[in-house]
Structure 1
Amino acid sequence: MAKIAFTLVWGVVLVAANRALQDTTWAQYLVTFLLGGIYALALSKVTILRGGNISEESK
């Protein structure tokens, strides 16, 4: 459930960033690339978003 909520919030952030940079195409590409990388990193590193138990964190 946390992953779904995080994805929906991240989608809103991405849309808001793209609308704020509407007239600068290169900035939209840059922000989309950076936010995509941060999203992927967050999904792979944050235990709650991975769906694992807190006790698995020490492994």
Structure 2
Amino acid sequence: MAKIVFTLLWVGVLIVANRALDDITWAQYLATFLLGGAYALALSKVKILRGNQTLEGSK
């Protein structure tokens, strides 16, 4: 449930960032790339967002 809420909030952040950078196309691409990386990093590092899943390599 936490992952769903986090994803919906992150989508809101991405929409706000893209609207703020409306006329600057290269900045929209850069912001999307950086926010996507931050999202992936948060999902992999924050314990509450990972849930009970374990990585295959850590067994």
Fold equivalence (TM over 0.5): yes
1:17 alignment counterpart: 17
TM-score by length of 1: 0.87
When the two chains are superposed, the root-mean-square deviation of aligned CA atoms in Å is 1.6
Q: What CA deviation, in whole Å up to 9, does each residue of 1:19-55 have, x standing for no partner?
A: 00000000000000000000000000111000139xx
Identity %: 75
For 1:31, the aligned partner's letter is A
How many residues align structurally?
54
User: Once structures 1 and 2 are overlaid, which stretch shifts more, 44-53 or 17-26?
Assistant: 44-53
Runs of 4+ in 1 over 6 A off after TM superposition: none
Where structure 1 has 5 or more consecutive residues not aligned to the other structure, the ranges are: 54-59
